[in-house]
Amino acid sequence: MNKKTYSIPIGPVHPSLEEPMTFNFEIYGERIEKVYLAPGDNHRGIEFMGRQRNPIQIIYLAERICGICSASHPFAFCQAVENAAGIEVPERGQYIRVIIAELERIHSHILWAGIAGHELGFDSVLYISWRAREEVLDLLEYLTGNRINYGVFMIGGVRRDISEEQIPRIRKTLEYYKDVYGKIEDIFLKDPTIALRTKNVGVLTKEDALRLCAVGPTTRASGIKKDVRQDQPYSAYADLEVKAITPDVFSGEINGDVYDRIIVRLLELVQSIQIIEQCLENMPSGEIVAEKKLVKLLNQLKKAKGEGIGRHEAPRGEVFHYVKLAEAEVPEIWKARAPTYNNLMPWAPMLLGEQIADIPIVVASTDPCIACMDRVTILNKANGRKDVLTKKDLHELSVQKTRRITP
Amino acid sequence: MRLNKYFERSLWVFHLNTGSCNGCDIEIVAGLTPRYDLERFGIKLVGSPKHADVLLVTGPVTGRMLDRVKRVYEQTPDPKAVIAVGACGTSGGVFYNSYNLSGSIDKVIPVDVYVPGCPPRPEAIINGVLQAWIKLEKLRESMEAAPAR
């Protein structure tokens, strides 16, 4: 029998994912034999731009790393700068940050549910869930003034307070989502077609998830209880009860397949609603930002010296920011690591041995966000040759960089 | 009933992301889904530029997408209209000084309609698509009126 495989290139412009991303599959019959990923189509050089702007301008830039995680990146960045400059955030500011971050999680998970339905060819799910998503966008617009890029984070706190009159409106939206959750759960977890399409598809074993450092719902669906909000509580999460959700809570078993990732995301929706309710009950009064005068804050940051990190559990997993301030107008180093960067490698074990028709849903099941993730390809301009870096080269480069940052 | 002379054909749109942050892209999808519901006018997203009347382009054209944007533009059949959505697509916006970006879409391909905003609201995107529609129909009329070469 002829054992010849053929290759299918997909992307960078393709109808299924919204973002540019290049794949190359080696296919035998209908089965995937090899997976090649070629990211880099969406690389904008944001860290480079950040090194030419002052920290307050960078918040605006960090928000635009990704339009879906537009609370997560500024959250982590502000924490990193506060950590470096030794700024303490008032308690009320911390609670408002958590409320905005959790509202974003609701919007992101419902958005994902719609995309997943679309990738399965179940377009009514896309329309039902995106209709439901508009409610939380309305609430975010009511609280912050914007639908997508909220512009609410500031170094040392937040820019907008949540007043007493606004709280009933928040509760109303939460009640709406408790209703809608039943409907979405009904569609995803009780519908036999979705179960047939997603059970035992795109399996990521616990070992692979640990070895490849997957984060967020992708790793929790494989049975690893990893959640920054639980492991290293920051901001107001320290006062709240947050437990990492694994799929066995619902179904009693862990398979690490696409179905389990759906379960985790849907359960996290409920968890987010509970977290916001706890926040509303316990919200302390007081200031919302440590330093109201921006000029004074900028001068303080100009004099600051040191390095800081910020971590936040974004809807897709842990986002990590590193900032080094060196008594200058602009930060010396700014490094952002988005969750999709970690969740990229698990695609290979998930996709191997699957059918071509399952590619969209398996890829979408990690909720990829290419805009957050893209890095540089090394291109030798003199001869136009692309160099492939091995693990050893990458290790050497990172050692060099670490020495440069901390001599 | 005919609403006006431009509501004759349905308009098919191809959405091209050239390195945007996703903000505009989800607002485009929001424009198609029930709250704003562009599909009631027969406007829908298609999977290939060869089927499209209108190109909806977002993002500040990254280095690797530069050639692809030109190719997608050439693959779209005439008469066509190009809409640049978002601040970075219209002017470069917040990403004005990067080493890997062209800055704005009109430096790469001709743009007919600009929709500013970071991201623009779905209503603004719908308005942009309708502007492109009117422009497209005028273009089509002038093409029909012109003597065949």
How far is it, in rounded angstroms, from Cα A61 to Cα A178? 34
Q: Which residues of A141-180 are buried (b: 16+ CB within 10 A; e: fewer)?
A: eebbebbbbbbbbbbbbbbbebeeeeeeebeebbeebeeb
Residue that is written with structure tokens 């607002």 in the block: B27
Mutate to test the interface with B, among A21, A43, A374 (most CBs of B within 10 A): A43
A167-186 pLDDT, tens digit each: 999 999 999 999 989 888 88
Judging contacts by C-beta atoms under 8 Å, the chain A residues touching residue B67 are none
Judging contacts by C-beta atoms under 8 Å, the chain B residues touching residue A19 are 17, 22, 25
DSSP string, A218-274: HHHTTT----HHHHS--GGGGGS------THHHHS----SHHHHHHHHHHHHHHHHH
Q: What angle do CA B9, B83, A150 make, to 5 degrees?
A: 120
Structure tokens that stand for A82 in this block: 């506060």
- Pairing type for strands B44-45 and B12-17 reads parallel
Q: B23 — contact with chain A (CB < 8 Å)?
A: yes
State which H helix or E strand residue B102 sits in: none
B 100-119 residues with CB below 8 A of A? 100-101, 118-119
Q: Do A68 and B26 touch (CB under 8 A)?
A: yes
Of A191-205, A377-391, B110-124, B135-149, which gets the smallest average pLDDT? A377-391
Burial of A277 (0-12, 13-18, 19+ CB in 10 A): middle
> Which of the listed ranges A36-45, A383-392, B4-13, B114-123 does the model predict with the highest average pLDDT?
B114-123
**CB distance B72 to B59 below 8 Å:** no
B26-75 pLDDT, tens digit each: 898 898 888 888 888 888 888 888 999 899 999 888 888 888 899 999 99
Q: B15 — contact with chain A (CB < 8 Å)?
A: yes
Query: What are the extents of the domains in chain B?
Result: 12-145
**CB distance A62 to B15 below 8 Å:** no
State the smallest CA–CA distance between residue A19 and chain B in angstroms: 6
Residue that is written with structure tokens 């967020």 in the block: A216
Q: How many helices (H) and strands (E) does chain B have?
A: 4, 5
Chains A, B: CB contacts within 8 A come to 119
Q: What is the pLDDT of residue B1?
A: 46
Q: What is the pLDDT of residue A76?
A: 93
**Residue B2: pLDDT over 70:** no
Q: B147 — contact with chain A (CB < 8 Å)?
A: no
A406 Cβ neighbours under 8 A, 6+ residues apart: A307
State the smallest CA–CA distance between residue B130 and chain A in angstroms: 22
Judging contacts by C-beta atoms under 8 Å, the chain B residues touching residue A46 are 95, 98
Q: Do B15 and A18 touch (CB under 8 A)?
A: yes
How far is it, in rounded angstroms, from Cα A96 to Cα A119? 35
CA B50 to chain centre: 14
Q: What is the pLDDT of residue B62?
A: 86
**CB distance A66 to A338 below 8 Å:** yes
**CB distance B11 to B136 below 8 Å:** yes
Which CATH superfamily hosts domain A46-353?
A: Cytochrome-c3 Hydrogenase, chain B (1.10.645.10)
Cα dihedral A14→A19→A23→A29 (10° resolution): -40
Structure tokens that stand for A335 in this block: 């490094």
Judging contacts by C-beta atoms under 8 Å, the chain B residues touching residue A12 are 64-65, 68
Q: Do B47 and A66 touch (CB under 8 A)?
A: no
Q: What is the pLDDT of residue A274?
A: 92
Q: Which residues of chain A have pLDDT under 70?
A: 1-2, 15-18, 371-390, 407
DSSP string, A286-339: S-SBS---HHHHHHHHHH-EEEEEEEEEETTEEEEEEEEEESSSS-SEEEEE-H
A128 vs A125, A181, A257, A398, CA distance in Å? 5, 11, 24, 46
Q: Is the peptide bond before A368 cis (omega within 30 degrees of 0)?
A: no
A369 vs A20, A34, A48, B18, B105, CA distance in Å? 10, 22, 20, 14, 22
Q: Which long-range contacts (CB under 8 A, 24 or more apart) does B132-138 make?
A: B132/B54, B132/B81, B132/B82, B132/B83, B133/B6, B133/B11, B133/B54, B133/B81, B134/B6, B135/B81, B136/B11, B136/B53, B136/B54, B136/B79, B136/B80, B136/B81, B137/B5, B137/B6, B137/B8
Nearest to A60 among B19, B64, B94 (CB): B94
Q: Do B21 and A43 touch (CB under 8 A)?
A: no
Q: Which CATH architecture has domain B12-145?
A: 3-Layer(aba) Sandwich (3.40)
State which H helix or E strand residue A38 sits in: strand A31-38
Q: B19 — contact with chain A (CB < 8 Å)?
A: yes
Q: B87 — contact with chain A (CB < 8 Å)?
A: no
Nearest to A369 among B22, B62, B97 (CB): B22
Residue type, B51: H
Helices (H), A321-384: 339-343, 347-351, 359-364, 370-373
Q: For the residues B102-117, what does the mean pLDDT come to?
A: 90
Above 0.95 for ipTM, yes or no? no
Judging contacts by C-beta atoms under 8 Å, the chain B residues touching residue A381 are none
B50-64 pLDDT, tens digit each: 999 899 999 888 888
Mutate to test the interface with A, among B64, B76, B85 (most CBs of A within 10 A): B64
Q: What is the pLDDT of residue A401?
A: 79
Q: Do B64 and A68 touch (CB under 8 A)?
A: no
